[in-house]
């Protein structure tokens, strides 16, 4: 991807643009993890380590007395220690999934900029300058962050977690006939990659998926049984065209981080390949809306619930 494209496709890079005002006048973004969790809400799982990688694990209340299915949850840039991401994982656990949510970023989540401003109709020149400088600085920080977290770095990490999961929770993997996966924002593309036939050198982090493969390179089959993703970032139509497993896609209309044209080309590619898929485009909501949070806008809160039920139904049906 060209460097000029990164800033517009980076997770959370639109945080200064898609804002809503909470009742106390605090400006918040619609980006995943930026909203406040419910007051008094506490996650029910625990952070442990698989192959020296931080992993949040949350289980159904009756596990292991009742059979469960294994769900790999890949987060947006806010990462495994985000309360909202942990609560999101808990929601799937309450529905019967044993959820494993790995730290894809090796302790280096995406940089964030919290901006508090008065609810002014027309900010002063000074405030506009401050917001502009903050936006540019954040965009640069996100670009640098993305450069540190490429498929060459993330895929080997996920392979290590999957190897541990298959051993630690063999019963849940067997019960589901494989591993299910759900991904939000940054994590969405990696659900697609894990649901594709990857050349071995790509899976091991020795080559970027876009680079040409050597002749005769061994391929590795899909690592998941089925997937569901929401408002992905850095996804190209080629990622969808390469899919080999059923997928549910939640998207946002006019989302610069997952452009309509790219999404539609990917949809056509999946149709031509006769791949089982479901796609729903939500309008009037910001990128990141599907992640659990204490949304003050009723429309966003309702859409978040609908998206969760859509993705959950897809996973349960497969």
pLDDT in tens, 148-188: 999 999 999 999 999 999 999 999 999 999 999 999 999 99
Listed in order, strand segments (DSSP E) in the chain are: 19-21, 27-29, 46-50, 53-58, 69-74, 97-102, 180-184, 198-199, 219-220, 226-230, 247-252, 277-282
DSSP class of residue 19 equals E
Count of CB atoms within 10 A of residue 131's CB? 16
Domains observed in the chain: 3-317 (3.40.50.1820)
Q: How does pLDDT run across 127-144, given as a tens digit for each residue? A: 545 444 445 455 657 888
Token duo for residue 100: 């494993």
Please report, rounded to a whole number, the percentage of residues in the chain having pLDDT higher than 90.
Answer: 64
- For the chain, the 3-state helix, strand and coil shares in percent, each to the nearest 5, are 35, 20, 45
What predicted TM-score, i.e. pTM, was given to this entire model?
0.82
Handedness of CA 230, 232, 237, 243 (dihedral sign): negative
Helix or strand or coil: residue 265? helix
Output the pLDDT for position 33.
41
Please tell me the distance from the alpha carbon of residue 118 to that of residue 239, in angstroms, as a whole number.
42
Residue 58 contacts residue 169 (beta carbons within 8 Å): no
Please tell me the distance from the alpha carbon of residue 90 to that of residue 77, in angstroms, as a whole number.
19
Please tell me the distance from the alpha carbon of residue 184 to that of residue 70, in angstroms, as a whole number.
17
Output the pLDDT for position 282.
97
Please tell me the distance from the alpha carbon of residue 30 to that of residue 22, in angstroms, as a whole number.
12
Q: How far is CA 271 from CA 195, 197, 203, 276, in A?
A: 16, 18, 26, 8
Q: What is the average per-residue pLDDT within 201-210?
A: 83
Residue 127 contacts residue 91 (beta carbons within 8 Å): no
Q: What is the average per-residue pLDDT within 194-218?
A: 83
Longest Cα separation, the chain: 62
Please tell me the distance from the alpha carbon of residue 285 to that of residue 30, in angstroms, as a whole number.
8
DSSP string, 49-99: EETTEEEEEE--TTTTTS--EEEEEE--TT-TT-HHHHHHHHHHHHTTEEE
Listed range (101-110, 138-147, 292-301) with the worst mean pLDDT: 138-147
Please tell me the distance from the alpha carbon of residue 198 to that of residue 210, in angstroms, as a whole number.
11
Output the pLDDT for position 5.
32
């Amino acid at each position: 991807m060209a460097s000029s494209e990164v800033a517009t496709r980076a997770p959370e890079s639109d945080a200064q643009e898609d804002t809503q005002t909470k009742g106390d006048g605090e400006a918040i973004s619609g980006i995943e993890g930026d909203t406040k969790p419910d007051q008094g809400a506490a996650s029910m799982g625990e952070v442990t380590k698989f192959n020296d990688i931080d992993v949040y694990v949350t289980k159904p209340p009756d596990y292991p007395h009742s059979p469960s299915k294994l769900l790999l949850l890949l987060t947006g840039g806010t990462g495994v220690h985000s309360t909202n991401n942990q609560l999101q994982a808990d929601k799937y656990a309450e529905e019967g999934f044993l959820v494993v949510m790995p730290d894809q970023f090796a302790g280096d989540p995406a940089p964030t900029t919290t901006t508090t401003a008065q609810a002014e109709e027309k900010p002063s020149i000074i405030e506009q300058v401050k917001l502009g400088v903050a936006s540019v600085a954040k965009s640069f920080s996100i670009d640098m962050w993305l450069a540190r977290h490429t498929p060459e770095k993330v895929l080997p990490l996920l392979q290590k977690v999957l190897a541990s999961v298959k051993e630690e929770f063999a019963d849940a993997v067997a019960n589901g006939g494989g591993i299910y996966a759900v991904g939000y924002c940054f994590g969405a593309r990696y659900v697609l990659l894990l649901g594709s036939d990857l050349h071995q050198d790509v899976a091991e982090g020795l080559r970027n998926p876009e680079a040409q493969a050597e002749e005769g390179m061994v391929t590795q089959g899909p690592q998941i049984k089925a997937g569901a993703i929401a408002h992905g970032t850095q996804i190209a139509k080629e990622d969808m065209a390469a899919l080999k497993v059923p997928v549910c896609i939640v998207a946002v209309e006019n989302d610069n981080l997952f452009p309509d044209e790219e999404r539609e080309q990917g949809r056509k590619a999946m149709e031509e390949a006769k791949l089982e898929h479901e796609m729903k485009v939500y309008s009037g909501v910001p990128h990141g809306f599907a992640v659990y949070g204490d949304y003050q806008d009723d429309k966003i809160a309702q859409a978040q619930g609908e998206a969760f039920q859509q993705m959950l139904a897809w996973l349960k049906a497969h």
